[in-house]
Amino acid sequence: MSVQEAAGTPAAGGGPDDEPDAEPAAGHPATRRSASRHGRGPWIDVLIVVVLVVLASVGALRWLDTTAYLVVVLQTAGPFVLIGLGLLLVATLVLRRWVVAIPVAVALAVAVAVAAPAFRASSSPKADVDLTVMSANVWIGSANAGQLMEAVRYHSVDVLVLVEATPALLQRLDAEGAGDYFTKREGVARSGTSSGTMVLSRYPLSVRSAGTDPAVERTQSIQPEVDVTTPKGKVRLKVAHPTAPLRGDTVEWRGGLRALQSWKERFDGDEPLVMAGDFNASYGHPGMRDLAGGLDDAQRTDGQGWVRTWPFAGNRLPAFVQLDHLLSRGLTVVSAGQVAVNRADHAAVWASYALPKS
């Protein structure tokens, strides 16, 4: 008997500890976990792909020029598509689903490219301000007049566009000093309807069109066209308030956007002009992009990104879409912003401009 055997120590190369580790038995916990992971993998991939297809399909609707009501509504969901794709990419990376992460990343890159222009500022904050315009949808005259005039004074507004203006609202505004602040006014205020529109101004106004013919305007709302004579020159102002894209009324809504586009295209590029109001459309709608082509949207020019002007008062949803715009040509955007007003379902939008030097 060897010394190793006598001591109970296995001989070299002959001990059980030198044998390779055996595979876990079929019922071993490690085996069950591995099988579970492999079994879930394909289903996770399928779920990710389904979510990707849904988000990409909704995002792609922005290129479909249609009056189908559901499509028109979904075209406002662009920001949520971007957020959803970002969260989906994070999920795919955390779950290490490398193959499906590639198409998700591509879709996200497209969504970012679409959204990027709204975050890229090209305004001129150091320029001298010659004209400040504010547009407010006052929700059939129910907006808080005191808050609105406070915003007017704070931003030194020269021209105030009131969409859905009523005689009662004008009385409340005058009680807050609007009659002294704005010495000129044009338009028509109407009780109990959303079709009234007023333009209040510190500068002289001359009416080019009352904007009261529905056959021309393609909307029941008043859309006046006026010249604003500032100390630095004239600016043509057109108020916009197309019919909202309600179920069954989207054809009129699209027609209203086309009418505004036709108005814009009648003028050359040298004359300073501003289109202001509640356009009832966002940049997710092809009609809005066609209308805004060649014009500067004040909020986008100022690089404000995801601007939300609707819905506010009277709605359970948080504000998620910009329906109110200030579009200009021949002017330099100095600054821009939004103001929420109590008892108004839209935020007011404002912009300060520099006129071209003569």
User: CATH code at 152?
Assistant: 3.60.10.10
Residue 21: per-residue pLDDT = 52
The token duo for 136 is 């407010």
- Residues 110, 150, single domain; the answer is no
Render pLDDT for 31-65 as a digit per residue (tens, 0 to 9): 455 544 555 678 999 999 999 999 999 999 999 99
Q: Does some domain include residue 343? A: yes
Q: Does some domain include residue 13? A: no
The size of the chain, in residues, is: 358
Residue 50: per-residue pLDDT = 98
The token duo for 306 is 């995801």
Q: Does some domain include residue 186? A: yes
Residue 13: per-residue pLDDT = 47
Residue 317: per-residue pLDDT = 87
- Residues 190, 336, single domain; the answer is yes
- Residues 33, 95, single domain; the answer is yes
Residue 40: per-residue pLDDT = 64
- Residues 192, 262, single domain; the answer is yes
Q: Does some domain include residue 36? A: yes
Residue 295: per-residue pLDDT = 97
The domain boundary, picked from 85, 117, 149, lies at: 117
Q: Does some domain include residue 42? A: yes
- Residues 163, 76, single domain; the answer is no
- Residues 205, 324, single domain; the answer is yes
- Residues 95, 171, single domain; the answer is no
- Residues 203, 132, single domain; the answer is yes
| Low-confidence residues in the chain, pLDDT < 70 | 1-40
Residue 243: per-residue pLDDT = 95
With contact defined as beta carbons under 8 Å apart, do 335 and 351 qualify?
yes
Residue 249: per-residue pLDDT = 77
- Residues 97, 181, single domain; the answer is no
With contact defined as beta carbons under 8 Å apart, do 310 and 321 qualify?
yes
Q: Does some domain include residue 134? A: yes
As a three-state string, the secondary structure of the chain is CCHHHHHCCCCCCCCHHHCCCCCCCCCCHHHHHHHHHHHHHHHHHHHHHHHHHHHHHHHHHHHCCCCCHHHHHHHHHHHHHHHHHHHHHHHHHHCCCHHHHHHHHHHHHHHHHHHHHHHCCCCCCCCCCCEEEEEEECCCCCCCHHHHHHHHHHCCCCEEEEECCCHHHHHHHHHCCHHHHCCEEEEECCCCCCCCEEEEECCCEEEEECCCCHHHHCCCCCCCEEEEEECCEEEEEEEECCCCCCCCCHHHHHHHHHHHHHHHHCCCCCCCEEEEEECCCCCCCHHHHHHHCCCEEHHHHCCCCCCCCECCCCCCCCCCECCEEEEEECCEEEEEEEECCCCCCCCEEEEEEECCCC
Residue 316: per-residue pLDDT = 82
- Residues 45, 185, single domain; the answer is no
The domain boundary, picked from 98, 117, 136, lies at: 117
Residue with the two structure tokens 């305007």: 217
- Residues 160, 34, single domain; the answer is no
Distance CA 144, CA 47 (A): 48
Identity of the residue numbered 13: G
Q: Does some domain include residue 3? A: no
- Residues 302, 346, single domain; the answer is yes
Domain membership of residue 293 as a residue range: 122-354
Residue 93: per-residue pLDDT = 97
Question: If we measure between CA atoms, which residue out of 328, 260, 269, 337 comes closest to residue 297?
Answer: 328
Domain total for the chain?
Answer: 2
The domain boundary, picked from 73, 102, 117, lies at: 117
Residue 8: per-residue pLDDT = 45
